[in-house]
Structure formats: C-alpha cells, structure tokens
Amino acid sequence: MHIGNNIKFLRMKNQFTQEQIAERLGVSYQAVSKWETNANTPDIALLPEIAALFHISIDALFSDDIESCITSCDENMKEIKDDGVIRIVQMRGTQILKVTPVLSPDQPPISIAFPLNCNDRTQYFKVEVFGHVISDSAINGDVCCHQSIECASINGDVCAQGDVKAYEITSYGKIICNQIKDCCHLQCPDITCTQNGKSET
C-alpha cells in the first residue's frame, strides 16, 4: 500500500501542482511533498477530501494498482451518458455492481428522497435504477428499473425488468413491467406484463 505514490500519480494525471493540492486541502505544500515521498501519510480526516478532489473512492487511494483502478472506473463511467437522466447506481469502491433482482443482505435497498421541487408537475425528469430503491417521494417522469423500486407514485412511462411498487402509477404511454406490486391506482392505455407476454388496455 503506497498512498503517497497514488496521490502523486493522481496529482500528475490531473495536472495539479503540489501547491494547488495543498491549497485545496488546507495543508502546506511540504505536507503534500512528504506524502508523495512516503515520508508521511495524510491525516485520516483528509482521506474523503483527497478522494473527492480526484473523483475516486477512498478504497482507490489505497489501491496497489491505481492506474488499473482508474481505468476500470473510467470504463464504467463511459457506459453512462450525459443525458440528464437521474441514475441510482449501487457501487462497491469504483465498481458498478451488477445487482440481481432478488433482495439479499449483500444487496440491500437504497433509501432515497428526491428533492421536493423535482416532484413539481412542471418539472419532468427520467430515473434509471440499477439496484433496489425505496423512496417516499413521487417521481414525475419516466422510470427505467433494472432491479426494483418502491416509491410514493410515478407519473410517467415505466419499463422494468424487476419489480415496481407504488401507491399510484399514471402513464400516458406504456407500462412494460415484470411485476407490479401493491399499486392502488394504475392508469395506462397500454400495459404489458413481461412474465406472461400479455398486453392489456
């Protein structure tokens, strides 16, 4: 484990000087120099700030092969487009987890609250879920769910490989879902259940 070597690699990759790193972290440039020569290590309280500065996980700071770790993270991020979609992703370190549709202790649900102004009907946004999500908020937009989602309501089209549970789902387009659980109000002109391949109106 050579955190100093990793900090030096990340600093040079991002074209920062030791002085710039020191200024952003509120330490002296001599401290940064000592980290990079492994004469000293950063205070544990600084680790989250250092990781955030380089847009990596704290785990990656301690990686034995930082270059491969960063490359792997970059490859994962390439799969995600800059298209305004709110994506909820489960990660372990820098690795995006391929979460199965079944809840388990290793793959627990993520509890999330969308900002209140996102639930205003004048704002429309899309949500894509990689994992298991529970939210008390409403989603005013389309939902693409790869595993499972439980929320107050959805006002938009739904496409789900996993399970969807909501008090109310209102769609003016299509709902294509593996299984809709405990939905009190369901309104949609075209509903397809992928379990039996039937389409209903």
Indicate if the pLDDT at residue 38 is higher than 50: yes
Tokens coding 61: 């700071």
Tokens coding 104: 């388990």
What type of residue is 9?
F
Count CA within 13 A, CB hemisphere, residue 31: 13
What type of residue is 86?
I
Highest CATH level, class, for 3-77? mainly alpha
In whole angstroms, what is the distance from residue 88 CA to residue 31 CA? 37
Residue identified by tokens 């785990």 is 59
The DSSP-derived string for the chain is --HHHHHHHHHHHTT--HHHHHHHHTS-HHHHHHHHTTSS---GGGHHHHHHHTT--HHHHT-S-HHHHHHHHHHHHHTS--SS-EEEE-EETTEEP---SS-BTTBPPEE----GGGGSTT----EEEESEEE-SSEE-S-EEESSEEEEEEEES-EEEEEEEEEEEEE-SSEEEEEEEES-SEEE-SEEEETTTTEEE-
Q: Which of 81, 82, 79, 60 is nearest to 69 (CA)?
A: 60
Segment 13-37 mean pLDDT: 93
- Looking at residue 74, its pLDDT comes to 53
In whole angstroms, what is the distance from residue 107 CA to residue 157 CA? 26
Contact 85, 105 (CB under 8 A): no
**Segments making up each domain of the chain, as ranges:** 3-77, 86-200
Instruction: Read off the pLDDT band of 199 (50, 70, 90).
Output: very low
Least confident interval from 11-15, 50-54, 90-94, 171-175: 90-94
What type of residue is 52?
A
pLDDT tens digits along 62-116: 888 877 766 655 555 555 566 777 777 776 655 566 666 666 666 677 787 766 6
pTM for the structure as a whole: 0.54
